[in-house]
Copies of this chain bind each other. A is one copy, B any other.
Amino acid sequence: MQWKIMPDIVKKQTISALKADNTVHEAATMMAKVNVAAIVIEDAKGLLTGIVTERDLTRRVVAKGLDPKKTPIADIMSTNPDTLAPDDSASDALELMQSRHFRHLPVVEDGKCVGMVSIRDLYMAVKSSLEENIRETEAFVFGDRYDA
């Protein structure tokens, strides 16, 4: 599969982001509001500095007994996260996410987050591509192309 992260898997989009001095409670509220499992953290210039996921809230906040309204995101975010570039290949991205057990990766251009890819997006694309490959091969083998 020769698909690129953009535009084949996700389109460029405005990504919901917070600052590192926002609270963990604000992060959870934003995740619920915009229906996502991960949000990115930006600095004052809008450059990506971190990522926070539902897993981080579970393990680094609830399990640790921290108070979400008194804990800044800076205390629990993953800094300098791995990222994808818009023209990375979808299959390379899937392998990276499988091997490192990531479920989400920010897509970054000039230091700014321009999209978010989930492993689910990638699996669905790979599955569609493989199914298409099978259909085309079968059409070739059984001659449907020439019977039409």
* Chain A residues within CB distance 8 Å of chain B: 24-25, 28-29, 31-32, 37, 54-55, 57-59, 61-63, 65, 68-69, 98, 119-120, 123-124, 126-127, 130-131, 133-134, 137-138, 140-141
Contacts and interface: CB of A to CB of B under 8 A. Distances in A.
Contact of A54 (B32, B55, B141): B55
Q: Tell me which of A28, A69, A140 has the highest count of chain B C-beta atoms within 10 A of its own C-beta.
A: A28
This chain's copy number in the assembly? 2
- Main secondary structure on A side of the interface with B: helix
Nearest to A129: B130
A28 B127 contact: no
13 contacts: A25-B65, A28-B59, A57-B57, A57-B58, A123-B124, A123-B127, A127-B127, A130-B130, A130-B131, A130-B134, A137-B137, A137-B138, A141-B141
